[in-house]
A and B are shown apart, each in its own frame.
Chain A
Amino acid sequence: MKRLLALFATLLPATFPQAQPANCPGFENCVYTPLQQTEFAGQMVPVTYDDYFGLSRRIETWVRVPNVRTGRFPVVIWAHGGAEGRTAGIPGILQAPSDLSAGAGYLTISPAFRPRTPEEREPLCEFFEAPPEMCAQFETSSWDRPFDIRAIIAMLHRENDREASPLYQRIDLEKIVVGGHSAGSSGTLSVAGAWRQFGSKRIGGSDTFEDPAPIAFIALSPSASGYSYMFDTSFRDEEHSWKYVARPVLFVTGAGDGHEQQPHGRRIGYDYSPGYNNKFLAWFDDTTFSHGNYGEEPCEVPGEQRRCAAFTAAWSSVILSYLDAFVHQRPAAIEYMNKGYATRIPRGLFEIEWTSK
């Protein structure tokens, strides 16, 4: 984390040798510096629970524990994307945002959403009355992600209460944030209260996907209506996926964020979510930055080092300021968000739209 911030500090001035300093009082180069900056250590932690159908489900997570010896950790759970799922809890899962939040003092959990085995698919396909050919293609991680996240939250409660746990009384259960990328955003928003439509069945709410514990959510490269089981209004039906997403959400996407969807479609979640002065959208209006760049892939476009540095600085700043604002109510973070300082980081290289409602 410290290395990352140091990189911004060195790259950004060099990026604009002729430019006047950007005007963001208190924020060098308009980059947000988090409340805490710390080293962290990681390890694989399995999570086991009984799924919706009563089957035992085990997933692996990679847990980053900040090197902070006192106090309780706020928590960020990062949900990776990818329809095919992942199996092993390793550091590489959504590494960039995970390193970012852990380095800012957040206990960070990065699960691997294991796809179901053929046997495990059966009850799910029966539930959805999915014909065999559809069952074979069904992206089971889309179903399991929210439940897996809920199981992780339950695990946090257990570890916080378990005297033998290294995290005994060290977790701030009132400060849990869930974030995700791509399909992981759909899972994240499901935990926030979004409904999904699997065939003719709509699923959502506290009986299934929604968890009341998290206080804020981050959706990187969120899916459009019509994709990832997110649905829109239709004739004689006013329901849509985002109608009940009441808690704070930061949406982050941009013009290069296609990847089998439409970049402007990825703004729909923001547009449709009810605004209670707690929804935010960062739109990077440049096609240089790929779908992967919004999640875990570093921006490494040949010849675009300056743009990539500015993107990474802005992407990191909107995430960290949002976390510190909603978790710590840090005045500097709130000011940074309210004034949209991240939009000033590129200084003419590209535009960032920052909007809220």
Chain B
Amino acid sequence: MRHRFALIITANTLLFGQPAQLPEVCEQFAPDCLYRRSTEVRFAESSTSVTYKDIAGLDRAVVLQVRVPDVTGDALLPVVVWSPGADLESSVAGTPLLRNWSDTTAAAGYLTVTVGHVTRDEAQKAALCRAIEIPDELCGTYDAGAWDRAQDLQFILQNVAAFNESGPPGIRGRIDLEKVAVAGFAAGADAAMSSAGAGRLLTPGATRVAPNLFRAEGPAAFVFLSPPAPGADGFFEYDYLQPQHSWSKLDRPALTLTGAGDNTCQGFAGCMTGATPALRTIAFQLQPANGKYQFFLKPVTADHSFLGSLDVDDCVGKEVEQIACESNARYLKSAVLAFLDSSLGKVSRAQLWMNEGLIVPASADQVAWRKK
């Protein structure tokens, strides 16, 4: 990247008390070099559900929270399908899932579908265990959600064309089938990775050579917020005489986002559950090159939940300065929108922002940016 520095007065000036030097290219992204849409659109919200036959032969209903941008004309709408984390499952029937992220992509003109992965009852879980050959004695502790999220997404993504043909009036005929992205947070990032082609070991019969696959061919790009560490949730990396890993088939563009505060480890000796920030970066390291980006927030002012919620009030409530909370949210939104516009919309301005790594100067080096 060529750095032709020019003095631009930005919000960073106010933040750090001295003028920030931004590359000249940032003039296209005034005032602060962050990527944003010039206008935001209004959108209509609705909720519906779809039902499909799961692997156990049961009818499985999945909640879809749909935001349709108020875009006039005949232009087809690009789509973002969001998959929330496990801790949000219980709120499927109530509050909106991944509200801030879903609002953000809808306001940017993306038909936004946020998936409520409904938790199974005991009978449904037992049926799933039988179908995927989980022994009875292990079924009680088996994470059925890991299977269901991936399976739900696969069903939805395989049926985008059908929804476009026979969906509700606001959707019917409006979907740009070439411009579908999948985004997920935490356990939802696991599912999004499955859609992208990541192999996982979720059943006794799965092996490194023949892992569980939930790949969906339709999506053109993927966003992984707080990705998994290998060794957790069925993801695996190399090992002795084992030259396979989960991410070898991720051949489409992907943006991975995590940060120094994204630590969920619990346990006396370390990570009995959860993952460290550094372990979360391995998923990016192992993805094949070409259209892959990693956003790593260096300050420890954003915890795991913030990456999914973007909830500034909650962040401030955790004794982080408001300006830091707001900045972190802006950085995250900017990167995700630039990635979507770049990889789906082929927006040259977005591609420029991504390729130049302008999040680095825009964040005053608070974000480490890698691309390959």
Q: Is the CB of A262 within 8 A of B265?
A: no
Q: Would you call B75 an interface residue if the criterion is a C-beta within 8 Å of the partner chain's C-beta atoms?
A: no
Q: Is the CB of A287 within 8 A of B241?
A: yes
Report Cα–Cα, A268/B275, bound state, in Å: 13
Q: Report the interface size for chain B: residues with CB under 8 A from the other chain.
A: 35
B232-252 contact mask (Cβ, 8 Å, vs A): 1 or 0: 000001111111000000000
- The B-contacting residues of A in range 222-240, CB under 8 angstroms, are 224-238
Given the complex, which residues of B lie within 8 Å of A291, measured CB to CB? 240
Q: Given known contacts A236-B300, A262-B231, is B261 in contact with A290 (CB within 8 Å)? A: no
Which residue from chain A places its CB closest to the CB of B261 in the assembled complex? A235
**Contact count A vs B, C-beta below 8 Å:** 126
Which residue from chain B places its CB closest to the CB of A199 in the assembled complex? B268
Q: Is the CB of A271 within 8 A of B268?
A: no
Beyond the given pairs A139-B269, A226-B229, 7 more chain A to chain B contacts, judged by CB atoms under 8 angstroms and listed by A's residue number, are A128-B268, A225-B276, A232-B278, A234-B277, A235-B300, A256-B240, A258-B240
Q: Would you call B319 an interface residue if the criterion is a C-beta within 8 Å of the partner chain's C-beta atoms?
A: yes
Report Cα–Cα, A85/B260, bound state, in Å: 33
Q: Given known contacts A236-B300, A236-B319, A268-B278, is B285 in contact with A134 (CB within 8 Å)? A: no
Which residue from chain B places its CB closest to the CB of A254 in the assembled complex? B238
SS of A interface (majority):
loop
Given the complex, which residues of A lie within 8 Å of B263, measured CB to CB? 232-235
Q: Is the CB of A235 within 8 A of B278?
A: no
Q: Would you call A349 an interface residue if the criterion is a C-beta within 8 Å of the partner chain's C-beta atoms?
A: no
Q: Which residues of B contact A (CB under 8 A)?
A: 229-231, 237-243, 260-261, 263, 265, 268-271, 274-279, 282, 285-286, 300-304, 318-320
Q: Is the CB of B238 within 8 A of A272?
A: no
Q: Is the CB of A287 within 8 A of B243?
A: yes
Shortest C-beta distance, B244 to chain A (Å), equals 9
Report Cα–Cα, A134/B269, bound state, in Å: 10
Q: Is the CB of B261 within 8 A of A232?
A: no
Q: Is the CB of B277 within 8 A of A233?
A: yes
Report Cα–Cα, A203/B360, bound state, in Å: 34
A130, A138, A229: the one within 8 Å of B270 (CB): A229
Q: Which residues of A contact B (CB under 8 A)?
A: 128, 130, 134, 138-139, 142, 197-199, 224-238, 255-259, 261-265, 268, 271-272, 287-291, 301
Q: Which 8 A-B pairs have the closest CB atoms?
A: A226-B271, A258-B239, A234-B263, A232-B276, A235-B303, A235-B261, A225-B276, A233-B260
Q: Is the CB of A130 within 8 A of B265?
A: no
Q: Is the CB of A134 within 8 A of B278?
A: no
Shortest C-beta distance, B323 to chain A (Å), equals 15
Report Cα–Cα, A130/B267, bound state, in Å: 11
Q: Is the CB of B278 within 8 A of A271?
A: yes
Q: Is the CB of B302 within 8 A of A262?
A: no
Which residue from chain B places its CB closest to the CB of A292 in the assembled complex? B240
Q: Is the CB of A227 within 8 A of B271?
A: yes
B241, B261, B268: the one within 8 Å of A288 (CB): B241
Q: Is the CB of A229 within 8 A of B239?
A: no
Given the complex, which residues of A lie within 8 Å of B231, measured CB to CB? 261-262
Q: Given known contacts A224-B279, A226-B275, A264-B285, is B240 in contact with A236 (CB within 8 Å)? A: no
Which residue from chain B places its CB closest to the CB of A255 in the assembled complex? B238
Shortest C-beta distance, B204 to chain A (Å), equals 20
Q: List 28 A-B contacts (CB under 8 A).
A: A138-B268, A139-B269, A225-B271, A226-B229, A226-B271, A228-B270, A229-B270, A230-B270, A231-B276, A233-B263, A234-B263, A234-B265, A234-B300, A236-B303, A238-B260, A255-B238, A256-B241, A258-B237, A261-B231, A262-B230, A262-B279, A262-B282, A264-B282, A265-B278, A265-B279, A268-B276, A272-B278, A287-B238
Q: Given known contacts A262-B230, A290-B240, is B279 in contact with A225 (CB within 8 Å)? A: yes
Report Cα–Cα, A287/B236, bound state, in Å: 14
Given the complex, which residues of A lie within 8 Å of B242, measured CB to CB? 256, 258, 287
